[in-house]
């Protein structure tokens, strides 16, 4: 397959390039950057030297890039993929967007939370969370890759919501992310003296991944789901740990929880069930496409507490995009992703 990456110089784009570089069924034909056009990618990311020394192109001739590609990955900030998608809609090329532009069934939800007019409302798209929407992804023209916080949260909660084990109006997600999730562009809050030895919440009750989590859980449970989602920033480069809480229905016990998680994910390559009372850690999934999940039964409060850990740049972004690509292209789902987490 010939693939191109639009926006290859952000953290997610560079991670995607590194994964696709080792994919035996992929030829990377074009990589783009508007701010670094004409430079080699290895000048910006020296770890890619002699691995990938391709020259970055401009988006000026996106139709030509699309005509020369079977798949186009878009790794741009929200609001930019729509324009690319519209220009490519009459070509046979398929699109995987790592941003938010194609994640929502209802574009008015996107417009409300992202404060941007959606200019490609007629796009035929599916939500790109492989373990949940695999069958829809296979033939999709446009795949809206799931977000990082959302991946950790939805995968944690999907079994209990799908099987009607919890009261959906009691769901709380408390999640922590490494700073690479904020992107490569420098910001004061990501400046080393501001970040180091610090731990903070942000965008409380207003984070843009909230409606994305609600959309997927509502679809899974067959009823409208509204959650509390609170993100935090921790002084590490990679990783997300999500702690999810929900009130259990009266007849649910530990054995039912164990059985539901095993039945839901027992055959999934990239979901590692650590079991009841275990503790996932971000370091154990670092650099990998795995999502580690554990659950705790609090008999005193009748709540389930579900923990999930992912690498935000891999399972939360580039790795998930390649997993979706493998499904859509008909390759083994783990191609180029079957790597051991790097440790320590």
- Position 263 scores a pLDDT of 98
- Of the pLDDT bands very low, low, confident and very high (cuts 50, 70, 90), residue 96 is very high
Any catalytic annotation for residue 148? yes
Residue 207 burial class via C-beta count within 10 angstroms: exposed 0-12, middle 13-18, buried 19 and up: buried
Given the residues 52, 148, 244, 291, select the one marked as catalytic. 148
The angle, 0 to 180 degrees and rounded to 10, between the axes of the packed helices 254-265 and 148-162 is 120
Q: How far is CA 105 from CA 101, 118, 148, 218, 242, in A?
A: 10, 12, 18, 12, 24
92 with 286: CB under 8 angstroms?
A: no
**Where do the CATH 3.30.360.10 domains begin and end in the chain?**
149-312
Interval 110-118 mean pLDDT: 97
pLDDT in tens, 216-256: 999 999 999 999 999 999 999 999 999 999 999 999 999 99
Percentage with pLDDT > 90 across the chain: 96
Q: Mind spelling out the 3-state secondary structure of the chain? A: CEEEEECCCCHHHHHHHHHHHCCCCCEEEEEECCCCCCCEHHHHCHHHCCCCCCECECHHHHHHHHHCCCEEEECCCCCCHHHHHHHHCCCCCEEEECCCCCCCCCHHHHHHHHCCCCCCCCCCEEEECHHHHHHHHCCCCEEEECCHHHHHHHHHHHHHHHCCCECHHHCEEEEEECHHHHCCCCCHHHCHHHHCCCCEECCCCCCCCHHHHHHHHHHHHCCCCCCEEEEEECCCCCCEEEEEEEEECCCCCHHHHHHHHHHHHCCCCCEEEEEECCCCCHHHCCCCCCEEEEEEEECCCCEEEEEEEECCCHHHHHHHHHHHHHHHHCCCCCCCCCCCCCCC
pLDDT at 176 over 90: yes
Thinking of the domain 149-312, which architecture would CATH place it in?
Answer: 2-Layer Sandwich (3.30)
294 with 287: CB under 8 angstroms?
A: no
The two three-digit tokens of residue 214, written as one number = 């609600």
235 with 279: CB under 8 angstroms?
A: no
- The answer to whether the peptide bond before residue 344 is cis (omega within 30 degrees of 0) is yes
Q: Which CATH class is domain 2-123?
A: alpha beta
The two three-digit tokens of residue 29, written as one number = 């034909």
239 with 311: CB under 8 angstroms?
A: yes
- Position 183 scores a pLDDT of 87
Bridge-based pairing state of the strands 303-310 and 240-247? antiparallel
Average pLDDT over the chain, rounded to whole? 97
> Global pTM?
0.96
- Position 190 scores a pLDDT of 86
pLDDT at 17 over 90: yes
pLDDT at 293 over 90: yes
């Amino acid at each position: 397959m010939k693939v191109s990456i639009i926006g290859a110089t952000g953290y997610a784009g560079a991670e995607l390039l590194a994964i696709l570089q080792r994919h035996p069924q992929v030829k990377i034909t074009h990589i783009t950057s508007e701010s670094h056009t004409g430079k080699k990618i290895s000048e910006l990311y020296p770890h890619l030297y002699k691995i990938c020394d391709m020259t970055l192109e401009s988006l000026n001739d996106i139709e030509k890039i699309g005509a020369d590609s079977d798949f186009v990955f878009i790794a741009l900030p929200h609001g930019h993929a729509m324009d690319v998608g519209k220009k490519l809609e009459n070509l046979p090329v398929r699109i995987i967007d790592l941003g938010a532009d194609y994640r929502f069934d209802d574009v008015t939800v996107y417009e409300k939370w992202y404060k941007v007019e959606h200019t490609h409302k007629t796009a035929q798209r599916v939500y790109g969370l492989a373990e949940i929407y695999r069958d829809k992804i296979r033939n999709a023209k446009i795949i809206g890759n799931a977000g990082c916080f959302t991946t950790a949260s939805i995968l944690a909660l999907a079994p209990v919501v799908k099987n009607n084990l919890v009261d959906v109006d009691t769901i709380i997600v408390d999640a922590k992310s490494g700073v690479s999730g904020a992107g490569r562009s420098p910001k004061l809050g990501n400046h080393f003296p501001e970040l180091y030895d610090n731990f903070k919440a942000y965008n409380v009750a207003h984070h843009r991944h909230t409606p994305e989590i609600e959309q997927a859980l509502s679809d899974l449970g067959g009823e409208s789901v509204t959650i509390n989602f609170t993100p935090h920033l921790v002084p590490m480069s990679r990783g997300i740990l999500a702690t999810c809480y929900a009130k259990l229905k009266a007849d649910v016990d530990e054995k039912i929880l164990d059985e539901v998680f095993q039945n839901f994910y027992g055959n999934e390559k990239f979901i590692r069930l650590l079991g009841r009372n275990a503790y996932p850690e971000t370091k154990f999934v670092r650099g990998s496409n795995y999502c580690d999940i554990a659950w705790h039964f609090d008999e005193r409060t009748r709540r389930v507490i579900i923990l999930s850990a992912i690498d935000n740049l891999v399972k939360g972004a580039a790795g998930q995009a390649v997993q979706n690509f493998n499904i859509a292209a008909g390759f083994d789902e783990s191609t180029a992703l079957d790597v051991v987490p790097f440790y320590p």
